[in-house]
Amino acid sequence: MQDRKRKCRIIVFPMSTPSNLPTDAAGNGRHRVRSFWTRVTEGLKVDQLWGQFVSEAKSSYSLYSKDVDWEEIQQEKNKAKRILFAAWGLFQAMLMKLSPARRVLLLIAIVLLVFQPQFQWNNGKVNSDFGWLGALILFVLLALELADRVTMKRDLEIAREIQQWLVPDQPPVVPGLDISFATRPQNTVAGDYYDAFLRPIAPSDSATPPLLVVVADVAGKSVPAALLMATFQSGLRALSATPESLDEIVVGLDRYARAHSLEGRRFTTAFLAEINPATREMRYVNAGHNSPILRRVTGEIERLETGGPPFGIPLFTEHEPVYPSTRVQLGQGDLLFIFTDGVIEAVNDRGEEFGETRLILCIKAAPNESAVDTLKRVMTEVNTFVGYARQHDDITCLVLRVTT
């Protein structure tokens, strides 16, 4: 009897195991599929993926359409021929973006896919359809282009890390002043620059080192603008470490920028301000930059426009440009918002710009909140307006609020 019970136990136990295997296998399979799909989509929903695709398609079309002679195409009266010529022009523009070897491979792949030539051997057909070879060539071309893109992206990521060393990751702690800043490059690296620091040496007209606040924008985008931004940062830091006044620093920056502006093609707009931490008196110069918004505690809006042309503009006379400065008294509750043109020129899918009117209304309606909250609210407004449209320029903002 004892042996029979033992046998029953042996029979019952294995029977329960196989019944669970299909369910577990199916569950694991579904989990792997979901995990793979999450990695591919990065958690985005279908409508978000479609919006991102449409935005990227429009951006790519703009890139290729610049190389098409649309005036010549429009002269063709036949609509069907116009469409054909436009498609041919876009194809040639795309083809010429490749290296010569890859152009030839692409043409061979297209011929194989379209005409599907047959191969004869000993009066018998062998692999009569060569479309698979064209598809294989296209896959190889895609792999080569992806390899180039990954290599370039890795180099840009290194450049971005270097660029991040040039700007502060945390605002300085100054009693009575609340500062916050944010930047979002159009590409991996940017031509925008922001900084806020206490000068190491007080100018001759000041008893204590003032707070220097600056936002600058080098003309252009990506790597060339980022390199010139680095030279601007080094020049500013070197000049601010001397007892020179703000006016003298601005003149020095203009001379330095002219020496590196490639005959004016890479000029720099900037807003520089010195704030006395004790008296809250601010002295500023606007070098062709978007006029910052100063919102008084009463709700009144002031634009800070006093200054001169952008740095690096070539001289057409013997006289250097003049950069007059002016003084503004800041009071408790006042808010200073400094930005680059990427904020107001942010474009949505309909081609509309965010504009200064929306930005001013957003700043004017700002409650008594921290600088970080104000910055987040403005960036959220811009993001909501833009939607899935691709960013066309670097975006940088700096917010300074007087708390006491």
- CB-based burial, 146-176: b 16+ in 10 Å, e otherwise: eeeeeeeeeebeebbeebeeebeeebeebee
Residue 305, pLDDT > 70, answer yes
Residue type, 325: S
Asked which of 69-78, 173-182, 277-286, 342-351 is least confident by mean pLDDT, the reply is 69-78
Coil/strand/helix, residue 272: strand
Residue type, 194: Y
Tell me, yes or no, whether 37 lies in a domain: yes
**Which of 162, 196, 227 lies at the terminal end of a domain, its last residue?**
162
Task: Indicate which CATH number applies to the domain containing 258.
Answer: 3.60.40.10
Same domain, 191 and 155: no
Same domain, 181 and 47: no
Q: Which of the four pLDDT bands, split at 50, 70 and 90, describes residue 86? A: confident
Same domain, 100 and 35: no
DSSP 287-322: EBPPPPEEE-TTS-EEE---EESPBTPPPSSSSPPP
Same domain, 241 and 299: yes
Tell me, yes or no, whether 10 lies in a domain: no
Mean pLDDT of 312-320: 79
**Which of 162, 186, 212 lies at the terminal end of a domain, its last residue?**
162
Q: Are strands 211-218 and 192-198 parallel, antiparallel or unpaired?
A: antiparallel
Q: Which of the four pLDDT bands, split at 50, 70 and 90, describes residue 398? A: very high
Same domain, 84 and 148: yes
Same domain, 253 and 351: yes
Residue 194, pLDDT > 70, answer yes
pLDDT digits 0-9 by tens, 265-292: 678 999 999 999 989 999 999 999 999 9
pTM: 0.70
DSSP 204-227: TT-SSPPEEEEEEEESS-HHHHHH
Same domain, 27 and 152: no
Average pLDDT of the residues of the chain? 83
Tell me, yes or no, whether 6 lies in a domain: no
**349 or 308, which is more confident:** 308
**84 or 49, which is more confident:** 84
Find all residues with CB under 8 Å of 228, minimum gap 6, and list them: 191, 218, 220, 260, 261, 266, 268
Neighbours of 318 (CB within 10 A): 5
Q: Which of 389, 291, 404, 341 is nearest to 57 (CA)?
A: 389
**127 or 144, which is more confident:** 144
Same domain, 220 and 363: yes
Q: What is the pLDDT of residue 120?
A: 60
Tell me, yes or no, whether 248 lies in a domain: yes
CA neighbours closer than 13 Å in the CB half-sphere of residue 280: 17
Residue 272 backbone phi and psi in degrees, to 5 = -125, 135
Q: Which of the four pLDDT bands, split at 50, 70 and 90, describes residue 302? A: very high
Tell me, yes or no, whether 12 lies in a domain: no
- Owning domain of residue 240: 170-402
**Which of 145, 162, 179 lies at the terminal end of a domain, its last residue?**
162
Residue 19, pLDDT > 90, answer no
Q: What CA–CA distance (Å, rounded) separates 305 from 338? A: 12
Same domain, 325 and 239: yes
Beta bridge pairs of residue 180: 399
Q: What CA–CA distance (Å, rounded) separates 371 from 335? A: 8
Asked which of 12-16, 221-225, 267-271 is least confident by mean pLDDT, the reply is 12-16
Q: Which of the four pLDDT bands, split at 50, 70 and 90, describes residue 3? A: very low
Same domain, 334 and 383: yes
Tell me, yes or no, whether 182 lies in a domain: yes
Same domain, 378 and 307: yes
CB 289 within 8 A of CB 215: yes
Tell me, yes or no, whether 8 lies in a domain: no
Name the range with the highest mean pLDDT among 315-319, 350-354, 387-391: 350-354
Tell me, yes or no, whether 14 lies in a domain: no
Q: Are strands 307-308 and 281-287 parallel, antiparallel or unpaired?
A: parallel
Q: Which of the four pLDDT bands, split at 50, 70 and 90, describes residue 36? A: confident
Number of domains in the chain: 3
For a pLDDT cut of 70, what percent of the chain falls above it?
87
Same domain, 61 and 48: no
Q: Which of the four pLDDT bands, split at 50, 70 and 90, describes residue 54? A: confident
